Amino acid sequence: MTLTIIELPHVGESVTEGVIAKWLVEPGEHVRKYDPLVEVITDKVNMEVPSPYAGILLRTLVAEGDTVLMGHAIAEMEVQGAVSASAPEKPSAVAQGPAVAKTTFEFVDSVRSVGPTGSGEGGQGRPDAIQDAANSASSKRLSPLVKRLVAQHGIDAAKIAGTGVGDRITKEDVLAFVVSGRSPSANPYPEPVDGLASHVIPLTPWRKTIAEHMARSTREIPAAWSMIEVDVTGLVAYRAAQRERFERDTSMALTYLPFAAYIVAQSLMANPMLNARWDARGIVMNDHVNLGIAVSTDAGLIVPVLHGADALGVRDLAVRAAAFIDAARADKLKLQDVQGGTFTLNNTGALGSIVSAPIINHPQAAIVTTEAIVKRPVVVEGDAIVVHSVMNLCMTFDHRVCDGAEAGRFLADLKLRFETIDETSTLL
């Protein structure tokens, strides 16, 4: 047996830290190689970290809810067999215990244990996975926090439907079960807050991560805001004319999102400063558009990235965006799906918003929102007043990277591209 220190693995240069969401193995418990060890949340994605070895988890070095730098020690494990240590510590002159090896490990693409949804149902994809009753039992393994909540409220865990990875029961599942009145304690937070008739919804690690990322953006980026009104009457007519054929050919709904993604990507290539980012060395210019699409999920906001969006047409963007949105809401995105974004597009109009002030997705230089399309009276040539379909485009940009004139030219270019679409266009 070798005493080995397990470190939080590096998952990409843009991911520097993660929040320990929950330990999936308790100290003293045996774990197989590639079994899920701990759930970690980064500002990019939620993922399970697999055990790099078979052995016994001796103790955890960080608690659930802690924010940990990549490469930081998180646990000690007694490993079966010899371990090749990347940085072995010298044995203590006093203690005569086993040698200590410090172990780091990278994610393995072929192992399904790695990724935002971890091992998946029944651990499929792990090279040593055995699809039997033992696997089914491990899927109901309770974290220490969940065990404490279950005991506190006198709940039979078997009656709780797990929504976590592999149907595991999460803290939120227990609290939802309690609030639903199906447990002896009807309110998990019976104490009033500040003497008021209120209660606390605990912060999930994902919500904490979103909060920290947004706070970092507002703290570090001197942001400016601008808006422009766009007449999209022609786009509305074109979509209506193409909708039935597109949906028949693809079995997908034709929304306005792929049109907006296409126009934004093409305009960014013509206005590259908006597709750049601030760096201590200077302004980093990106040669291609990796377009982030903001998606609202039950867990919070996530931004999958359409890599190489500048080379894609409306149809391809529609297919890829729909796949990413479905994957995001099903918690099935891979880490690479949310990395490398150069610009973000947010469709706040889907919620009925007509004006918004989005927060820049650090370290990008700008973010644009497409607002709701509404009918408005518009003055046209000859001073005639007609009813047209109008949409606002709102943009927040990093004033270190570009000035108001550059931001204005970008918005004007977007407006021109939107307004030149009509029923004769050939975008699909």
Rounded Cα gap, residues 427 and 354, in angstroms: 26
What does residue 408 show for φ and ψ, rounded to 5 degrees? -65, -40
Active-site option among 10, 72, 153, 399: 399
Sign of CA dihedral 414, 418, 421, 425: positive
Candidate list 194, 403, 413, 422, residue with the active-site label: 403
> 318: which 2 tokens?
């529609």
What residues form DSSP beta bridges with 301? 296
At CB < 8 A and 24+ separation, what contacts does 137-141 make?
138/35, 138/166, 139/166, 139/167, 139/168, 140/167, 140/168, 140/169, 141/24, 141/25, 141/168
Determine the Cα–Cα distance for residues 373 and 377; give it in Å rounded to an integer. Answer: 13
User: Are the C-beta atoms of 50 and 111 separated by less than 8 Å?
Assistant: yes
Asked if 362 is an active-site residue, the reply is no
Peptide bond into 116 cis (omega under 30): no
Q: What is the DSSP string of 74-99?
A: EEEEEESS----SSPPPPPSS--S--
Whether 310 is catalytic is no
> Are 375 and 391 spatial neighbours (Cβ–Cβ below 8 Å)?
no
Rg over alpha carbons for the chain, rounded to the nearest Å, is 25
Residues labelled as active-site residues:
399, 403
